[in-house]
Amino acid sequence: MAKDFSLMEDSNRSSNPSIHDVSAPSRRQILRGGLGALAGSFLAPLSAVGGAAALTGCATLGVGAMKMGFKSVGISTADSITVPEGYVAHVIAPWGDPVGIAGQNHAFKYDASNTAAEQEAQIGMHHDGIHYYALDGSKRGLLAMNHEYVEHGLLFTDGMANWSAEKVRKSQAAHGVSIVEVQDKGGKWEVVNPSKYARRITSNTRTELSGPVAGHALMKTAADPAGRVVLGTLNNCASGITPWGTYLTSEENFIFYFNGGDKLSDHEKRWGLRKGGAGYRWHEHDARFDATQNPNEPNRFGWIVEIDPNNPNATPMKRTAMGRGAHEGATVAVTKDKRAVVYMGEDARFEYIYKFVSRDAIKPGGAAANASLLDHGTLYVAKFNADGKGQWIALTHGQGPLTAANGFADQAEVLIKSRQASDALGATKMDRPEWIDVDKQGWVYAALTNNSNRGGDKQPAVDAANPRANNTQGNIIRWKEDNDFSAVTFTWNHFIMAGDPSLERAEAKGSIKGDMFSCPDGLWVDGRGLMWIQTDMSTSAMGKGDLKNFGNNMMLAADVQTGEARRFLVGPAGCEITGVTETPDGKTMFLNVQHPGEPASEQNNPANPRAISNWPEQKSNGRPRSATVVVRKIDGGIIGT
């Protein structure tokens, strides 16, 4: 999550009880249970995909600490990438470069004068989630990457002055997903251009709704009376991969692109719709984004979208059985009987953590054989109890309060109104759940990036799972399912309470081991079992108060056995570090640098685009560009060892 739309959204007014009201052990006992509780270790060989999609069941797999063979890098405020001694980094696929579509080789224009049509064939803006799909092992493959949002002060020569339909179209074209082919050529990675796989999926690309919500009355519009075809995907933040080879992209803070009216329904209020949106102004030239004219259009966003990167002609599918939300990722694990389990957070204050369990088992045969797997199953929401136990509560129509009498006419309406359903079920309100991943022992980790609106004289109060009032630092929570990923009960604790142990916030003092960090966002467990943690300190708060000692945003590696974290990389000025993936041999890492040069106001001045950063090219006429960074060891070894 980059631009803090989530800080604008605090629409959960439900009266779900706080965990401390249901109490058992004290908050101190829960915190003390955190770091030493793991029993088990890692698979020795590298997984072909790494992370959660390779896991089956919840078995313990041996004991031992993870080797981290690099020396920590220092905190930095430089406008450059810092990596450990013995490593090199270089940039590929920056915003505005050609994506590789044949005949569409439009070069980036440093004065931002490229057209909407050109941007539709260029790599999008503000890179986020990313994954490598091998074509030729670890030497050639595809990168699927998200483009979360845009900064109009950089996208246009004159910013938002002279606003027009062309500018709206260009803004929409810079959103979405890019598929690029990359290859290791002579020891250096580069984008293949042209490539038959190259593709841009934007806010105007045809997508289809699938699953229980497709065709529902709340999805129908004048332009789509059948309620089955949506133009585009947007605010694509974190991502996931499936064992059958597809890419899952999440639509996060979609609601802020829509203009609401003076009188909002309870449903619109619960989802944070507001008059004017958040300043994107798309509705001024695209009536789809004016909810006063098209009240159902917002319901058509907020879904997990499945994309087949190997088939540039495949239609992206919005998988509605997994529920609607300001989704932050979709991490796949596999049950003992081979069903898919998808973990999802919702990055907004006091929203929820979900999992979806497929009805059917994964079939051999790749994407084609599993084309409808994610259309059937059960969606659950998490409740964390104060005794270190928890439950998954099914969002199933007709069960408990999810009835027509309470505003849920059918299962489709439960999924469209997943927030209201979770309110009614008494789920635990969390501190902005971001990325989720699973380690080799079956522990599931979720980054709770921060929430300054909790506790003290503010409500909701602190609770066991969210124990910090004025939570400016964030933490990482984890749980293990009872017996299998499909279980409806689990055990949980806190992995790390982030922050600066030298400051007055005592929670970090016994939790931080190794290098300190704040505001965890991206999480990824690699093929060896090493956890990578990426930070997203807001530029409006960076260098001040609790964040005064951290420098630029960074990425760390953490041993899940000991909790030790080492700083591996620091990004350029004003950026967020987000999204990380590796080649199957573990020797090349790809990660994304988002919004370099973002000022404290989070709005770039088009008259002075280089005020904060001129990364990565440092051209005299340049402007900061989000980009993918390739990291390798000089000796050709495995990253992190």
Question: Looking at residue 577, which CATH number applies to its domain?
Answer: 2.120.10.30
Neighbours of 128 (CB within 10 A): 30
* Most confident by average pLDDT, 52-61, 278-287, 449-458: 278-287
Look up residue 319 and give its two tokens: 């998988």
- For residue 67, what pLDDT is reported? 84
- For residue 10, what pLDDT is reported? 66
Q: What is the pLDDT of residues 551-590, one digit of tens each?
A: 999 999 999 999 999 999 999 999 999 999 999 999 999 9
Does the bond joining 194 to the residue before it have cis omega, within 30 degrees of 0?
Answer: yes
- Sheet of 229-231, strands arranged across: 229-231, 206-210, 317-319, 304-307, 247-251, 236-241
Residue 150 lies in a domain: yes
Can you give the residue range of the structural domain that contains 102? 5-252+302-633
Residues 6+ positions from 136 with CB-CB distance below 8 Å:
183
Residue 260 lies in a domain: no
Sign of the alpha-carbon dihedral angle for 517, 252, 622, 610:
negative
* Residue bearing tokens 């929401």: 381
Residue 290 lies in a domain: no
Residue 266 lies in a domain: no
Task: Find the radius of gyration of the CA atoms of the chain.
Answer: 23
Residue 195 lies in a domain: yes
Give kind and range of the element (H or E) at residue 579.
strand 576-582
Q: What is the pLDDT of residues 408-433, one digit of tens each?
A: 999 999 999 999 999 999 999 999 99
* Residue bearing tokens 């495995």: 638
Kindly tell me if the per-residue pLDDT of 441 is higher than 80: yes
90-104, 195-209, 447-461 — which is least confidently predicted? 447-461
Question: How much of the chain is in helix, strand and coil states, percent to nearest 5?
Answer: 15, 30, 55
Residue 265 lies in a domain: no
**Could you give phi then psi for residue 176, rounded to 5 degrees?**
100, -130
Residue 217 lies in a domain: yes
Residues 6+ positions from 492 with CB-CB distance below 8 Å:
384, 388, 389, 390, 465, 477, 478, 479, 480
* Residue bearing tokens 């027009």: 164
Find how far residue 217's CA is from the centre of its chain: 29
Confidence of residue 66 (pLDDT cuts 50, 70, 90): confident
- Per DSSP, the three-state class of 564 is strand
- For residue 57, what pLDDT is reported? 60
- For residue 38, what pLDDT is reported? 27
Q: What is the pLDDT of residues 487-546, one digit of tens each?
A: 999 999 999 999 998 886 667 777 899 999 999 999 999 999 999 999 999 999 999 988
Q: What is the pLDDT of residues 588-626, one digit of tens each?
A: 999 999 999 999 999 999 999 999 999 999 999 999 999
| Residue 407 Rama label (left phi>0; alpha psi -120 to 50; beta) | left
For the chain, how many structural domains are there in total? 1
Residue 273 lies in a domain: no
Look up residue 306 and give its two tokens: 């499945």
